[in-house]
Chain A
Amino acid sequence: MGDSTQELDALVKRKYKEGFVTNIESDTLPPGLDEDVIREISRRKNEPEFMLEWRLEAYRKWLDMPEPEWAHINYPKINFQDISYFSAPKNPDDGPESLDEVDPRLLETYAKLGIPLEEQKMLAGVKGANIAVDAVFDSVSVRTTFRGKLAEAGVIFCPISEALQEHPELIKKYLGSVVPQTDNYYAALNSAVFSDGSFVYIPKGVRCPMELSTYFRINEMNTGQFERTLIIAEEGSYVSYLEGCTAPMRDENQLHAAVVELVTMKDAEIKYSTVQNWYPGDENGRGGIYNFVTKRGACRGDNSKISWTQVETGSAITWKYPSVILYGNHSVGEFYSVALTHNMQQADTGTKMVHIGKNTSSTIISKGISAGRGQNTYRGQVKILRGADGARNYSQCDSLLMGDQCGAHTFPYVEVQNKTANLEHEATTSKISEDQLFYLRQRGLSEESAVSMIVNGFCKEVFRELPMEFAVEAQKLLDVSLEGAVG
């Protein structure tokens, strides 16, 4: 135990690898939030009138909403007037056409992350597949690649601010249709001040020719980042979307309140994968990102499918419940999650599956790993409404504890109103057993690699749902995060 405690200490003291700041001049609004700030954001982005109205409506409702307190997390109260709500790198209008034109420091930033655009290109070159990157650097998209190829297929993949100029009718129709302005406190805030994000539209019958990917990065002191992502998959289409994030080291907490909306029509499928590695704060819980995210998908058509896969290793606080509303008959919702907390990290995450259509099915696989003084909570709801004949759900929530100061909690909510529904929920909590460790050690593996192997095995069901590049990154992330963490 003595050895492993030391190793655990080493883990706890591990510095955040991706902690650095790139100095790029930016147009940042002074901290504070009122209607004028929202008007200014809207003006700078040259938005149509309806968008400004929509934002103001959300803002006015937000003012009357109470801050949610039900989550199993602790944090000092956020002063929303201390946050700057807009930050854009210089000259966002003449975005570079190729990598050569990109600010070299931006490229350097990506290189430090270990997932640079070059590597993306190279990886793509080897596989013969292309990954389009709509890189969000702070709040405004500065670079969009492979537009031509996507346009050929009829796919729209662009920053949401651009979509507002070019396809306002789509935005008007779908924005807020899955996550309404007043859905919750942070969604309302996001609706009022969101700066940018991605917009994806896959037309009828199109299988998106490549995996779409966005890298987010918070890079400006005290800037809350409020992305808004909207993905629409028309009848019979398919898209796989990747999202990954890291953030530089900060002492003050940064708020991240994103909203992601997915819509699938008949026979369509969206696969949404996330690797989240925001700055988690130091060993005393100082700094770190507050990640309060609303993600929801609506399976509007029959036989449609939405699948969420997430690997959450970062953030001081994660508050995130990717959900699926299954309207269409035979529609399918999936949620695969690995959430890791160490040091003083807190995660309250899970999903919500609402079965409305007949013969709908959902699968929930959640793996929580707690180390150090981390608190990891699974909170998930499965709701089967009266008309959802033949609905099926399988939920499995496993927790792995490392160290005697961490916590693992499970709060499932199951509400069934239909007798033909079939529903199972299982949860287990355990630590890495001495037997397993001993077995691997006597085969010549170091304690570290033994733990890494067991943890990777524990998460295998989720990792195999990730696209290849992400699976590699996720595995690497877990390895680094858990070096020597033996309870």
Chain B
Amino acid sequence: MTALHNFLIAQKQANEAAPEWLSSLQQVAFSQLKNRGLPSAQDEEWRLTRLTELYKQEFRPAIATNTLSLQKTLLTPSAGSRIVFVNGVLDTGLSDSSFVAGLAIEPLEQAVISDKLNLETFFNASPPLEQHGFLSANTAFSKSGYVIRISADSIIDNPIEIIFIANNTGPAAWHCRNIIVADQFSKATIIERHVANDTAETYLSNCVTELHLADGSHLDFYKYQDESLDAYHIGGVYSKQSRDSYLATNNIAIGSKIARTDIYATLSAEGAHCEMNGLSVLAGDQHVENCTEVIHAKPNCTSDEYYKSVLDDQARSVFRGRIIVAKDAQKTDANQQNKNLLLSSRAEADTKPQLEIYADDVKCAHGATVGQLEEKSVFYLRSRGVSETMARALLTFAFANDVIRRFHLADLQKQLSAQLADRILGEAASAIETDSLFGEPL
């Protein structure tokens, strides 16, 4: 038994406010966690992400001491409603959820009691509960989180922004569970940011978001993970799509010491489309694993996946991408690309693109590359009088920015591009017209 497992087991306490259905579900999840424990290196699905150090941590429930203000850089310029969690607990002072027609936002603890949103149908409806210990822990201990429901035919113009800030003293762990329900023909953009205050100490953020898309709905979802470099982030985004719905999950990872994010999409009715974009820009001894799975359960669905990583120093990125085409899912069109750029000889990229296909009339392709910058391209820029450092930085920026250009939200795209330029080009960025670099959105 590891220290973390013991800590989690000790967390068990009766959640008296919870309705019957929730407490029995949490009971099941708890016994699963207790019996199966947390994933180990012997687990094929976790073989490449070693959590030994995390398991040794002595965690305790989070206490916030430092006062916080939201920094300008954290915010999306065009954001409308905003919900802020500090150490996994809702901070009403920083949140701003003024009334928007067609949009209902509630903290999880309220939503389970009021049950205006009929949470029972959606809670834990898509993730495979028995998948791994962290998911069980999340289900067993989730007391906070957000619940968003976009009512039928509503189009929410401004993006909804959710910010999880770590501001803990002493090692702490929290488990948030978020649920987004997009009703028929609704449309919304949601940005989930995971960030830390400079003074935050080591912590574990175990955050699961469920997306439920009804017929014809449209959801543009961003997960921006810039946790503290001492932090562990275990996260999941599990979606289930109905007929003709559209989902984009954009997954940006630049922070944390070790992060593992599972992005699962189930296309459960005809005509659904799912887009998955991912970008990890890592340095130092950062380790990020992205594990994606697209399940084509019904015919005539399409999916397009595009994941890239840029790795410097001893950073390591692991990509697992699985496409499953069920027996009846004819006319499926699934595409998956994973490209990795190694900037240092100590960096490591592991990629496992997988196809599991049980139908014959399908078009499926996956591709994976690992490599360094092409000398020819560097030479081309050098021949134009660009310094070697600058040439390499520009090419690296272009490689990464390629993913950001696939995002639909122009404001966010611009912000992220600028942030990326700042990080990769550094001071050199100011010497050139950065605006001209970003290009028009695709």
A binding-site residues for B, Cβ under 8 Å: 70, 384, 386, 389, 399, 401-431, 487
Contacts and interface: CB of A to CB of B under 8 A. Distances in A.
Contacts of B359: 401, 404
A420 B368 contact: no
Contacts of A70: 44
B353 A416 contact: no
Interface residues of B, number: 36
A399 B358 CA distance: 12
Closest 10 CB pairs of A and B: A419-B342, A401-B360, A425-B368, A410-B355, A416-B370, A429-B364, A423-B370, A414-B351, A407-B358, A415-B350
A422 B340 contact: no
26 contacts: A384-B370, A386-B346, A401-B360, A403-B360, A404-B360, A405-B327, A407-B358, A411-B352, A412-B351, A412-B353, A412-B354, A414-B352, A415-B48, A418-B342, A419-B342, A419-B344, A421-B370, A424-B368, A425-B351, A425-B367, A425-B369, A426-B366, A427-B365, A428-B365, A429-B357, A431-B362
Given A412-B368, A420-B372, A431-B360, A425 B349 contact: no
A430 B360 CA distance: 7
Interface in B55-101: none
Interface string B314-342: 00000000000001001000000000101
Contacts of B344: 419
Contacts of A422: 370-372
B355 A429 contact: yes
A427 B351 CA distance: 14
A426 B358 contact: no
A408 B365 CA distance: 12
Contacts of B361: 404, 431, 487
Contacts of B372: 419-422
B131 interface: no
Interface of B: 44, 48, 327, 330, 340, 342-372
Nearest to A421: B370
Contacts of B365: 426-429
A424 B358 CA distance: 25
Contacts of B363: 429-430
B330 A404 contact: yes
B226 to A, nearest CB: 25
Contacts of A419: 342-345, 347, 372
A409 B354 contact: yes
Nearest to B365: A428
Contacts of A409: 354-357
A430 B359 CA distance: 10
B397 to A, nearest CB: 17
B330 A412 contact: no
Contact of A413 (B340, B345, B352, B366): B352
B357 A407 contact: yes
A427 B355 CA distance: 9
B353 A427 contact: yes
Nearest to A376: B357
Contacts of B330: 404
A408 B356 CA distance: 6
